[in-house]
């Protein structure tokens, strides 16, 4: 009788899985350094961009306030007598009642134009206003341009609707009164065009000074 030969049982246990080899530490360090550098560059760019967007307007405001202050300093009679005289005319024109006052006003305009002819006055104001046109707000730049237009007898090109009602009303009233004795007292010293031109630039100069002070005040709030 044959004896059956039993085959040995296969082990039911499965062999352990192969443990993965550790990553190369040098490669890992390189990847980490690369990513860190990338994010550092991106972060630096975003930070610089943010600072630049906020720093540029702040610097522009500093230049603007500095320009305004420099021009206001020129209104001192000893530093810029022409601007000071123009401002005085702008103040006096609001308070003319008697013939004597009107004649004195006429004499003051004549004195200004004797000291500075129109061409010289234009050259001086153009030079003084340059800093405001370079750094000023849109409104300040417009008033500067209107001043120079008025000085060249081109007040018809001025958009009066953009000016204060006070300036517009005074300009229109003096424009109507040209040729009447009320415009100059009893002795004519300047032409109608010159008289209206000086009155116009005097009131615009007052409006300019007021605007500069308002913007300086607002920048400090």
Give the pLDDT confidence of 88-130 residue by residue, as tens digits: 999 998 888 888 888 999 999 999 999 998 889 999 999 999 9
Rounded to whole angstroms, the Cα distance separating 28 from 35 reads 11
Which tens digits make up the pLDDT trace of 6-39?
A: 555 555 555 555 555 555 666 666 666 676 666 6
- Does 68 score more than 90 pLDDT? yes
Q: What percent of the chain has pLDDT over 90?
A: 34
The closest of 189, 11, 210 to 91, measured between CA atoms, is: 210
Please say whether the beta carbons of 207 and 167 come within 8 A.
Answer: yes
Task: Report the chain's C-alpha Rg in angstroms.
Answer: 40
Q: Which residues of 15-34 are buried (b: 16+ CB within 10 A; e: fewer)?
A: eeeeeeeeeeeeeeeeeeee
pTM of the full structure: 0.71
The residue-averaged pLDDT of 58-84 equals 85
Helix (H) or strand (E) holding 88: helix 81-92
Residues near 34 by Cβ (< 8 Å), separated by ≥ 6? none
């Amino acid at each position: 009788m044959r004896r059956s030969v039993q085959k040995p049982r296969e082990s039911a246990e499965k062999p352990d899985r192969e443990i993965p080899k550790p990553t190369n530490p040098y490669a890992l360090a390189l990847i980490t350094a690369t990513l860190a550098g990338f994010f550092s560059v991106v972060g630096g760019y975003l930070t610089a961009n943010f600072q630049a967007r906020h720093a540029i307007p702040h610097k522009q405001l500093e230049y603007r306030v500095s320009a305004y202050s420099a021009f206001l300093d020129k209104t001192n009679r000893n530093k810029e007598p022409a601007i000071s005289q123009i401002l005085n005319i702008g103040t006096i024109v609001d308070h003319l009642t008697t013939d004597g006052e009107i004649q004195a006003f006429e004499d003051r305009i004549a004195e200004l134009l004797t000291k500075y002819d129109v061409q010289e006055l234009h050259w001086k104001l153009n030079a003084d206003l340059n800093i405001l046109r370079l750094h000023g707000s849109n409104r300040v730049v417009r008033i500067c341009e209107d001043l120079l237009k008025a000085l060249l007898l081109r007040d018809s090109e001025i958009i009066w609707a953009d000016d204060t009602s006070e300036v517009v009303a005074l300009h229109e009233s003096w424009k109507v009164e040209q040729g009447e004795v009320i415009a100059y007292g009893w002795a004519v010293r300047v032409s109608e065009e010159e008289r209206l031109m000086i009155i116009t630039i005097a009131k615009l100069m007052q409006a300019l000074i007021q605007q500069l002070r308002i913007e300086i005040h607002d920048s400090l709030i």
